[in-house]
Structure 1
Amino acid sequence: MPEGKAARLLSGDTFDLHAAIGGWRGFVESSLPGIVFVVAYLVWGGFRVPVLAAAGVMVVLVGVRLIQRTPVTQALAGAAGVAIGAIWAWRSGDAAGYFEPGMWVNAAYLAGILISMLVGWPAVGIVMGLIRGDGTAWREHPSERRRYQLASGVLAAMFALRLAVQLPLLLADQLAVLGTVKLAMGVPLFALTLWGVWLLSRDAAPARAPQDPPPTTR
């Protein structure tokens, strides 16, 4: 999901699950290349046909968006991920390479969020400060800092769970199972995690909204 859309979801008064998965079309666009990769791998094996099939589907999806003149941001984000995985697999000569960049991305996000929590600058707090225009004012309020620490912990848990489940499958060369699990732990899990982050973050700023001064007595 593009960062701008995630920011709009987190800043809203209600959480739109349909928007969180990118709508049904966005969900299909993010899932179809992975499904095609798994099916092609089961049918043909090797790495060339699955990689080319997944890349071809992604090109078609982006092309349809361009022809219809509809927003291509989400499709292009998915295309970038497919392209990187395809190049990695092609260079390594192994279908497992298709999944390796995703592992590194999850590990990098996990490390970044954990470091932000350890140094007292939780990633969710930084993002919400930018979204709400509060800057770093939230750091002066212990209750807000705790909320953002918890919300960042929820986000970190998602990346940790992905690695804990998917990495052993990659190392065991269970690529068909890995492809299926990756789909389930992709957009659906991210949307659920974003909902948890929203629940923890939504009341932080209103809790410290400036109050009107009490009326003076004469």
Structure 2
Amino acid sequence: MSGPDASERGTSGPDASEPGRAQAPDSAEPAAGRPAGPGDAPLRGVRVLAGDEFSFADAIGGVRGLVESTLPGLVFVVVFVLIHELMPALVASAGVAVVAVVVRLVQRTPITQAFSGVLGVGIGVVWASLTGEAENFYAWGLWVNAAWCVGAAASILAGRPAVGVIVSMLRSEPMTWRTDPDAGHLRRRYTWATWLWAALFGARLAVQVPIYLQGSDAVGWLGTAKLVMGLPLFALGLWITWLLLGSRGARAEHQDLHPTPPR
């Protein structure tokens, strides 16, 4: 669900964002389904769905994750709008993304989110430079959103709602809810949440594709739409998903499916 757009998050989209704290190694991350303790690194990105509490800051990867995810795209828009030259804008954007990775390597902190940003920016830079069209800096992100939209809808039609599969993996739980006749309410929650993400990706396409088709004259508006509908919309989607799946009712349904054995 990262949105799964690597150029605008740490995605996502089902997002693998994990900037972490500089002092906290990966092994300090709490087990799925357990809230982070004083000595634990917080759950980041989609992993917040496995926790008992929700944090918008953790959902977007913290302040550092926010900066690493949005700054390359912001720099591209600002430079291109100011000087109307494609290559300087591409070089500036790629340089910012690379610096973010180098800083993490020097500090020996997890590079997942920063590296995903480099990958997304790199594809955009190559695509735009080969075609000579500034709007193609964002073409890859549009295709990614289209793929997630179609994939989410297809997973529902196949009886395997993508959100349910992802959450079960994050919580290390069996996917018995797919066939258990007593898990109807839980299946419906997973289905609603998956439709939510299909709608989120669809909304991005509905807004951004018409702007993209206007060409380089609308790059400023396209870049702004990408930023506004990137991490903020991703975090909102995670929060609504967590409300559906992390509420007392949803967790009670999980416990009914996996009762605690008597001691």
Alpha-carbon displacement from aligned partner over 1:83-111 (angstroms, at most 9, x marks no partner)? 11001111111111101000000000000
Q: Is the 8 A contact 1:126 1:135 kept in 2?
A: no
Compared CA separation, residues 44 and 136, structure 1 to 2 (3 A): same
The counterpart of 1:155, out of the listed 194, 197, 222, is: 197
Moved more, 60-69 or 10-19: 60-69
Matches of 2:157 and 2:71 in 1, distance apart?
A: 38
Matches of 2:170 and 2:96 in 1, distance apart?
A: 35
Identity %: 46
Name the Cα RMSD after superposition.
Answer: 1.8
- Alignment coverage as a number of residue pairs: 214
Equivalent residues in 2 for 1:17-28, closer than 5 Å:
17-28=56-67
TM-score by length of structure 2 reads 0.77
Compared CA separation, residues 14 and 168, structure 1 to 2 (3 A): same
Q: Is the 8 A contact 2:152 2:162 kept in 1?
A: yes
Compared CA separation, residues 150 and 46, structure 1 to 2 (3 A): same
Question: Is the counterpart of residue 166 in structure 1 residue 208 in structure 2?
Answer: yes
Q: Structure 1 unaligned segments of length 5 or more: list them.
A: none
- The aligned residue for residue 206 of structure 1 is 252
Matches of 1:114 and 1:3 in 2, distance apart?
A: 21
More helix by share: 1
Alpha-carbon displacement from aligned partner over 1:115-139 (angstroms, at most 9, x marks no partner)? 0111221101111222223322112
Moved more, 39-48 or 109-118: 39-48
TM-score by length of structure 1 reads 0.92
TM-aligned CA deviation for residue 8 of structure 1: 2.5
Q: Is the 8 A contact 2:45 2:60 kept in 1?
A: no
Q: Structure 2 unaligned segments of length 5 or more: list them.
A: 1-9, 18-43
TM-aligned CA deviation for residue 47 of structure 1: 1.7
Alpha-carbon displacement from aligned partner over 1:154-173 (angstroms, at most 9, x marks no partner)? 11111001000111100012
Matches of 1:209 and 1:190 in 2, distance apart?
A: 28
Compared CA separation, residues 189 and 87, structure 1 to 2 (3 A): same
Query: Which consecutive aligned stretches of 4+ in structure 1 deviate over 6 angstroms post-superposition?
Result: none
